[in-house]
Structure 1
Amino acid sequence: MKKNLKGIVIAGPTGVGKTDLSIKLAKEINSEIISADASQIYKELNIGTAKISPKEMQGVKHYMIDVADPCSDYSVGDFEKEVNKILFEKENNLESKNKNIMLVGGTGLYIKSITDGFANLPPKNEKIREELSSKSLEELQEILKDLDKKSYNEIDLFNKLRLIRAIEVCYLTNGKFSELRMKNIKNNNYKFLKIFLNRNRDELYERINLRVEIMIKNGLVEEAKKVYNKYRKNLYKISSIGYKELFLYFEHKITFDCAIELIKKESRNYAKRQLTWFKKEKNYIVYNFSEMSECEIIEDILKRWKNF
């Protein structure tokens, strides 16, 4: 029986300050970082996902960034397989054995698939997906409501890919997605010190609004236009905040100012959903940037890490 290895999770809502803290902490403990962000896995979506740049990495090795095309059906299952492969290789590779590992991001399902395990759900079925893709959001919502009321109440009802996956699993198994996804199998030997970063709501929302304005100044509109022109036939597959709102602007469905306000609103709502998700999770140590400095938080994490 292999002994358990240890890692750290740095989770928190969008815009809270995970990236800066994780780099500083990684340098302190000689760690590599696995990104657990459902948008940063996509190539070409850089500014709108606040993707860390090579310069910002400061020499700290990062995994799971730029691993999929924007229109690919990348799932939690794909993430779980890839990350556990990385962890297995680290565990058995002498060169990387002495490096610690940190899982950093705000996508709760991605993190949970590694820390708690993941359900062995059926693979994608292209025929079913093609059929469901032709339906509207409202139709998909109604189908899921009939098949699995619990999933309907828990899932992001405006994420078409998530709706399609939940319905697909129900069709393929004749069961309920909400029940099947709870039957988790953990495929790594790591135990994780779980950290959740937060800020007072007003401060967090102010940071999110400011970050959107900075993204616009840094060229988000131009980046989104390139993506729009390149993937026009499959835009419904790109659901990342900052892009889908600008796509509506490019199609003259909303004004530019409305698109910007919508990005801010959707980002704040996403942060709210993240907070709700992680409140239900167990064994997280919560730090509030509004009450403690970054240095104080890092110092306390290091003490806990030493004794973990």
Structure 2
Amino acid sequence: MKKPVIAIVGPTAVGKTRLSVEVAEKFDGEIISGDSMQVYQGLDIGTAKITEEEKHGIPHYLIDTKRPGDSFSVADYQQLVQQYINEIGLHQKLPIIVGGSGLYIQAALYDYNFSDQRRDDEVTRKLEEELNSHGVLTLHNRLKKIDPDQAAKVHPNNHRRVIRALEIYQTTGLTMTEYQKQQKRESPYNPIFIGLEMDRKLLYQRINARVDNMLKQGLLDEVEMLYKQGFENSQSMRGIGYKEFIPYFKGEQSLIQATETLKQNSRRFAKRQYTWFKNKLDVHWYTITPETIDETFRKILDDLAGMLERV
């Protein structure tokens, strides 16, 4: 029998954290973070990390497990999630993944095999030299010609994924899109995907308000501390909520400009998240509003009870 695993997905600021705790309380579950940035210690406010009070005593995994200077890949995430799913099962608990890092969640639940294609250090080194000499746009434009689908998914600033896609092509002759299509798609689990969505205008208002609230909570001090500790070029500081303030600390932008950039990047990210989950996974979607959130969450819990009975 395949183990049931619930995954609660959707764009940022839509209410996933609260729902995950309610699901865990009702179905005796434990929660695994599905956010690729919450693994980093010290990145609390900008990643909207759950507080101890909000956890309601529910065990949470993959939060605060890495130092800000550490790297953390999809393959690392996959290995750890599968380990925690097994551990949670041994506790006779229900594993619940919650977050918005779609590729990470998909890779973990569908057992993508990352070990088949190891990195070619020499190819990677040459691509990194080219990046330093000619800039990432040169590499991203090359990726557009080779694999337009992958290029559309990867922002030019995501140097690592641009280089990885080009490296896969140079070493295998396959585009990243072709390579991923070859991956095994049957899950070793019985995943149940619950998605939260919201009217786009309302969601964007919530995102803007959330950024303002993060700043009131001390986000700027959090980013400045990491910046002064020398993590500017670390993977952790490339995340939304952190990279936007680097130009401000360098005197290249005003705080107002940096804040507006953060709001804009957060809105665009939410749109990409929503599109990704709609296209990639079989999700049971629920539309929520501030007025109907309690009623909708009750319906989700009722629906989940029926889904779990059928697993």
Question: Do these two structures clear the TM 0.5 threshold for a shared fold by scoring above it?
Answer: yes
Map 1:145-164; keep pairs closer than 5 Å: 145-164=144-163
- Find the aligned partners of 1:112 and 1:235 in 2 and give their Cα distance: 25
How many residues get paired?
302
Partners in 1 of 2:282 and 2:64 — Cα distance?
30
State the distance in 1 between where 2:112 and 2:78 align.
7
Match of 1:109 in 2: 103
Structure 2 Cα separation of the partners of residues 20 and 66 of structure 1: 19
Q: How does 1:150-229 map to 2 (within 5 A)?
A: 150-185=149-184, 189-229=188-228
**Structure 2 stretches lacking a partner, 5+ long:** none
Distance 1:217 1:13 in 2: 22
Name which of structure 1's ranges 8-17 and 115-124 shifts more when overlaid on structure 2.
115-124
CA contact (8 A) 2:39 2:65 kept: yes
The runs of at least 4 aligned residues of structure 1 exceeding 6 Å deviation read none
C-alpha RMSD over aligned residues = 2.2
Q: Cα distance 1:244–1:50, how it changes in 2: closer, same or farther (>3 A)?
A: same
Question: Taking structure 1 as reference, are residues 155 and 144 closer, same or farther at Cα in structure 2, changes over 3 Å only?
Answer: same
Partner of 1:24: 22
Secondary structure of 1:10's counterpart equals strand
Instruction: Select 1:65's aligned residue among 54, 63, 66.
Output: 63
Tell me, which stretches of 5 or more residues in structure 1 are unaligned? none
CA distance in 2, matches of 1:124, 1:195: 34
Indicate the residue corresponding to 1:123 in structure 2.
118
Structure-to-structure mapping, 1:264-283, within 5 angstroms: 264-283=263-282
Q: Structure 1 residue 176: deviation in Å?
A: 1.6
1:305 counterpart = 2:297: no
The 2-side partners of 1:227 and 1:261 are apart by 21
8 Å CA contact retained: 1:87, 1:188? no
Counterpart CA distance in 2 for 1:231 and 1:126 is 26
Change in CA separation of 1:49 and 1:237 when aligned onto 2, cut-off 3 Å: closer
Q: Secondary structure at the match of 2:181?
A: coil
Seen in structure 2, the aligned counterparts of structure 1 residues 165 and 73 have a Cα distance that, compared at 3 Å, is: farther
Distance 1:256 1:127, change over 3 A: farther
1:15, 1:211 within 8 Å by CA — same for their partners in 2?
yes
Q: Report percent identity of matched pairs.
A: 33
C-alpha contact (below 8 Å) 1:84/1:187 kept by paired residues: no
CA–CA distance in 1 between the matches of 2:39 and 2:193?
A: 22
